[in-house]
Amino acid sequence: GKIILGDQLLERSDVLIDLEDRGYQFGDGVYEVIRVYGGKLFTMKEHIDRLFQSAKKIKLDISMSPEQIQDLVESLLKENGVNFGSVYMQVTRGAAPRNHKFPLPASNTKAVFTAYTNEVPRPQSQLENGVEAITAEDIRWLRCDIKSLNLLPNVLAKQEAADSGCFEAILHRNGIVTEGSSSNAYIVKNNEVMTHPADNLILNGITRQVLATLCKDNSIPFVEKEFEVHDLLHADEVFITSTTSEVMPVIKLDGRAVGNGVPGEITRKLQSLFEAKINQETKV
């Protein structure tokens, strides 16, 4: 399929990324993943908005408009004929002789925007049966609100989970549960949904924001409040959310059953509300 480099659709094999691209050398850039359902982009505007917010927080000038990116991504999707899958997009601070400092304006270094598509089925059986997770220490930096390319701590946590045969690592900092290595984390206790506040210690997931609205509209208490690892391990229900994992039940934590060891009632309710939201947005 085709990919985007800058404002052009190109063959992937025709694209060259410079050895000194700052994304490659420093992780100096930001990214987004958008889900595609039946050929339609889900919450595209929100993802493109967040890309610009992340870029701004690292003083990166994307030098394209959100509308331009939207048009490019839509044409890429059409060109590649993606049905169920995702679009990955990233922006780096560009290629310049290696130096930690930003390239000088006079050097005319331009941000490098790239995007490509993937065909990925929805994780049906995991959504149905739930997944297992481990708990792990959150060793990331203090600006987890930025969707930056620096994912080494996330990679290490996810691998630790995989090594234990688990789907996700739910992270904690000073005993407080923050989020998953590539997801937001929630507990249900006494019919209340609780998740870490959207501050600098977590990424405010687009799925999280959709869920907050769905809860509000359906009179399900959605509480943004810190909770401890102990609360996680003794919750009635646990689930995680992300663009690719949707609303994913967690049925075992560190090898022990969560609640009854099956996806809980509130989690099921949120899954069906989320499903309706997908249909509403992408089947018009």
Catalytically active residues are: 147
Nearer to ligand PLP, 80 or 181 (CB): 181
Nearer to ligand PLP, 206 or 266 (CB): 206
Nearer to ligand PLP, 94 or 173 (CB): 173
State in angstroms the smallest separation of the CB of 205 from ligand PLP.
3
Can you name the residues that pair with 78 across neighbouring β-strands? Answer: none
| Residue nearest ligand PLP by beta-carbon distance | 205
State in angstroms the smallest separation of the CB of 179 from ligand PLP.
5
State in angstroms the smallest separation of the CB of 46 from ligand PLP.
8
Can you name the residues that pair with 188 across neighbouring β-strands? Answer: 193, 237
Nearer to ligand PLP, 94 or 167 (CB): 167
HSE of 210, CA atoms in CB hemisphere, 13 A: 26
State in angstroms the smallest separation of the CB of 206 from ligand PLP.
4
State in angstroms the smallest separation of the CB of 154 from ligand PLP.
6
The pair phi, psi for residue 251, each rounded to 5°, is -105, -15
SS3 126: helix
Contacts 24+ apart (CB under 8 A), 79-84: 79/1, 79/2, 79/9, 80/1, 80/2, 80/117, 81/39, 82/36, 82/39, 82/117, 82/118, 82/119, 83/36, 83/38, 83/39, 83/119, 84/36, 84/37, 84/38, 84/119, 84/120, 84/121, 84/122
Nearer to ligand PLP, 94 or 114 (CB): 114
How far apart CA 198 and CA 113 sit, in angstroms, is 27
Contact call for residues 168 and 184 (beta carbons, < 8 A) = no
Residues that bind ligand PLP (CB under 6 A): 154, 179, 182-184, 203, 205-208, 241-243
